[in-house]
Amino acid sequence: NAGVMQNPRHLVRRRGQEARLRCSPMKGHSHVYWYRQLPEEGLKFMVYLQKENIIDESGMPKERFSAEFPKEGPSILRIQQVVRGDSAAYFCASSPVSGAGQPQHFGDGTRLSIL
């Protein structure tokens, strides 16, 4: 999983606080994807971004969640007013191009715990 860097690896927040998760894609990759994994489940797609653009946010909850991938710097997944149900592992992936036949390369995730 070297290459896609996520931080922090672990994040603890109290209910009502904000959580910010960061993802730096592999060098040369301009496409970023965020997934969420609940315990004992597979990964669920949340959002797909290119630099400065959200391409597909069909998996994002309508409220409290937002994502960005600015021209400079990492992609940020932001969760406002966190609730217990937000506790999960959040994975970021990247790819050099979009389209058919392109595997995504994943980071090691951020484990979010809500007290």
Nearest-approach distance from CB 79 to other proteins, in angstroms: 19
Nearer to other proteins, 85 or 101 (CB): 101
Nearer to other proteins, 44 or 78 (CB): 44
Nearest-approach distance from CB 109 to other proteins, in angstroms: 5
| Cβ-contact 33, 47 below 8 angstroms | yes
Nearer to other proteins, 14 or 99 (CB): 99
Give the E-state strand segments of 1-115 in sequence order. Answer: 5-7, 10-13, 19-24, 31-37, 43-50, 53-56, 65-68, 75-79, 88-95, 105-106, 110-114
Structure token digits, residue 79: 């969760």
> How far apart are alpha carbons 56 and 35 in whole angstroms?
12
Residues that bind other proteins (CB under 8 A): 1, 4, 6, 31, 33, 35, 40-45, 48, 55-56, 58-59, 91, 93, 95, 98-109
Structure token digits, residue 108: 């090691």
Nearest-approach distance from CB 62 to other proteins, in angstroms: 17
Nearest-approach distance from CB 16 to other proteins, in angstroms: 28
> How far apart are alpha carbons 63 and 32 in whole angstroms?
21
Nearer to other proteins, 68 or 108 (CB): 108
